[in-house]
Amino acid sequence: MVLNKMNGEIRDRIVKDIHTHFSTAILKEEMNYDFLTLTLQKEHVIPVIRWLYDHEELRFRFLTTMCGLHYPDQEEELGLMYQLHSLENNYRIRLKTFFTTAQAEVATLTGIFSAANWMEREAYDFFGVRFKGHPDLRRILNVDDMIIHPLRKEYPLEDQTRADKDDSMFGR
Amino acid sequence: MPDQISSKQADDLILSKGQEGKEYLTLNLGPTHPATHGVFQNIIKLDGEIIVEAEPTIGYIHRAFEKLAERRPYYQIATITDRMNYCSSPINNIGWHTTVEKLIRAEIPKRVDYMRVIIMELARISDHIICNSVIGVDTGALTGFVYMFQKREFLYEIYEEICGARLTTNIGRIGGFERDFSDKVWKKIEQFVTEFPDVLEEFGGLLQRNRIFMDRTINCGPITAERALNYGFTGPNLRAAGVDYDVRVMNPYCSYQDFDFAIPIGTQGDTYDRFMVRQQEMRESISIIKQAMSRMPDGPFHAELPEYYLPDKEKVYNSMEALIYHFKIVMGETPMPVGEVYHCVEGGNGELGYYLISDGGRQPYRLHFRRPCFIFYQAFPEMVRGNMLSDAIITMSSMNVIAGELDA
């Protein structure tokens, strides 16, 4: 099944238009199954989303989801994924951005989508991404006095000091 | 205390003379309040009985599903999805299976699709039964709840007949089902679709045009279509606000394009509309199940995917290939394509999405669940502001916030 009604012609036009409006914003462009995925520079994410939101024809006015990503092997190890949906045209698009742990500060999306409020709190809680201008940036699902950001890859799932669990017995 | 107190002592007993004016009351609703149907805490600021501000605190039953999924082979993640929206776990299970099938680009037989559609619609009905009958309970009408729950129990018997479990079903497998539906299952589904519409009518008769119920729910916790979209609403809550977005129609999965059904929508986005939309959706679900049953294609009950679908025990004992595949699947040694997929299904509460990144390993590199409850529950303070305290209770039950899905 195909989630996306966006055809090749429209895809090319979106990429070309973003190029003309935001010159060097797009770092990478790829197709993942039925999704156009654009990797953007960190400071261009919010302007591009705003442009897609305001675009008279495309009208990406629904924030489907948003989440953090972590690739410890990359230099810019932390990332964010945004997924927008244009309900009128049934187009979907995925935007990504990557940055280092030291510079894990991104502008907030709450000015455009109210839905981004808790999603950003979740990304902060689990990945430690700070959102500039967020109205209430606190942890959301974990306890307030937790000191780690648990979905980062450096935190293993189970307590590694336990000796009573031998993973090699389970092929792990 | 002496019986009589002097006027001086009486003066001392007056707590604070202070200035005249209002003082707000802060009330802790939850986390284990019986009327919240789940572990939700709301710190509510009240002016008399009017809500000035509400602040939800969530995460009481957070179980780190996204982290857990990073250590589990694909087929074991189905049991995690059960525990999200536990009122309609078959939809979650099938959503996950179809996500993996999309990743491996599997061809699914029509019969599997139709069987899945039947199960998912049954699950949708069981989800809506909970929500609607609980709105009745919270407005003071317990009768309908008990009446409807008999039918919900019957649905659990159908699940039990199909997969052996009732609540956390783990129904189906990647590629199809573990076994075909037995005759008893078909008979029970048949019985359900013939008996349920009357029960639904009778339940509707108790509430739909009931003056007390209407006064209580109309204009209670409303949201406009524009705000609902901005808040990322999906499912019946969005449709009650007047937007006809339904994943089943917009992005058909599991052959939903073969069926003819309507998308009921409301106009006000209030509790009454949410109730009515769910009532109508149950009728549409029954019609979909009937269509699927009358046009049920013949064929296998699972796809031909030897690397992902467990072979028959008979074959495992007697053939070398089946034995090898059996071990490979159980040990999670089957190769997975590298890539990322997003797949969504129309869950009981809206668009239930799975964002999956695979690095080719035995478990996902990253799995993110788009949980509709988590996204629309943040609109709750805005929806109840200016309403009465008791309206907050029914607004919450009409939004059908499920704690398991909210906290993941």
Secondary structure, 3-state, chain B:
CCCCCCHHHHHHHCCCCCCCCCCCEEEEECCCCHHHCCCCEEEEEEECCEEEEEEEECCCCCCCHHHHHCCCCHHHHHHHHHCCCCCCHHHHHHHHHHHHHHHCCCCCCHHHHHHHHHHHHHHHHHHHHHHHHHHHHHCCCHHHHHHHHHHHHHHHHHHHHHHCCCCCCCCCECCECCCCCCHHHHHHHHHHHHHHHHHHHHHHHHHCCCHHHHHHHCCCCCCCHHHHHHCCCCHHHHHHCCCCCCHHHHCCCCCHHHCCCCCCCCCCCCHHHHHHHHHHHHHHHHHHHHHHHHCCCCCCCECCCCCCCCCCHHHHHHCHHHHHHHHHHHCCCCCCCEEEEEEEEECCCCEEEEEEEEECCCCCCEEEEECHHHHHHHHHHHHHCCCEHHHHHHHHHHHCCCHHHHHC
Per the CB < 8 Å rule, is B331 touching A171? yes
List B residues 102-121 in contact with A (Cβ-Cβ < 8 A): 102
The distance of Cα B198 from the centroid of its chain, to the nearest Å, equals 24
Tell me the C-alpha distance between B272 and B294, whole Å: 34
In Å, how far is A21's CA from the nearest CA of chain B? 25
Tell me the C-alpha distance between B22 and B45, whole Å: 12
Q: Choose among A32, A171, A172: nearest Cβ to B340.
A: A32
Mutate to test the interface with A, among B331, B378, B383, B406 (most CBs of A within 10 A): B378
Question: Looking at the DSSP assignment, which residues form a beta bridge with residue B26?
Answer: B45
Query: Measuring CA to CA, how many Å separate B22 from each of B25, B43, B49?
Result: 10, 19, 13
- The count of CB pairs under 8 A between chains A and B is 99
Sequence-distant (6+) residues with CB within 8 A of A26 are A15, A18, A19, A38, A39, A40
- Cβ proximity of A26 and A38 under 8 Å: yes
- In terms of Cβ atoms closer than 10 Å to its own Cβ (0-12, 13-18, 19+), residue A161 is exposed
pLDDT in tens, B287-304: 999 999 999 999 999 999
Mutate to test the interface with B, among A141, A144, A148 (most CBs of B within 10 A): A141
Per the CB < 8 Å rule, is A150 touching B67? yes
Q: Give me the phi and psi of B322, to 5 degrees please.
A: -60, -40
Q: Which residues of A touch B331 (CB under 8 A)?
A: 171
| Token pair belonging to B65 | 């599903």
Describe chain A by its helix, strand, coil percentages, rounded to 5: 25, 25, 50
The nearest alpha carbon in chain A to B332 belongs to A171
Secondary structure (3-state) at A53: helix
Tell me the C-alpha distance between A87 and A94, whole Å: 15
Per the CB < 8 Å rule, is B232 touching A94? no
- In terms of Cβ atoms closer than 10 Å to its own Cβ (0-12, 13-18, 19+), residue B311 is middle
Q: Is A147 on the interface with B (CB under 8 A)?
A: no
Q: Choose among A67, A70, A139: nearest Cβ to B355.
A: A67
Q: Is B405 on the interface with A (CB under 8 A)?
A: no
Query: Measuring CA to CA, how many Å separate A47 from each of A43, A59, B49?
Result: 8, 14, 43
Q: Which residues of B touch A141 (CB under 8 A)?
A: 58-59, 62, 407-408
**Below-50 pLDDT ranges, chain A:** none
Closest by alpha carbon to A94, among A156, A36, A172, A55? A36
Sequence-distant (6+) residues with CB within 8 A of B155 are B122, B123, B125, B126, B129, B192
Per the CB < 8 Å rule, is B67 touching A83? no
Q: Cβ atoms within 10 A of the Cβ of B56, count?
A: 19
Per the CB < 8 Å rule, is B250 touching A90? yes
Cis (ω within 30 of 0) for the bond into B31? yes
pLDDT in tens, B180-230: 999 999 999 999 999 999 999 999 999 999 999 999 999 999 999 999 999
pTM, entire model? 0.91
Per the CB < 8 Å rule, is A141 touching B58? yes
Give residue B191's identity as a one-letter amino acid code. Answer: Q
The nearest alpha carbon in chain B to A117 belongs to B378
pLDDT given for residue B6 in this prediction: 55
In Å, how far is A140's CA from the nearest CA of chain B? 7
**Below-50 pLDDT ranges, chain B:** 1-2, 10, 13-16
In Å, how far is A142's CA from the nearest CA of chain B? 6
pLDDT given for residue B276 in this prediction: 95
pLDDT given for residue A161 in this prediction: 61
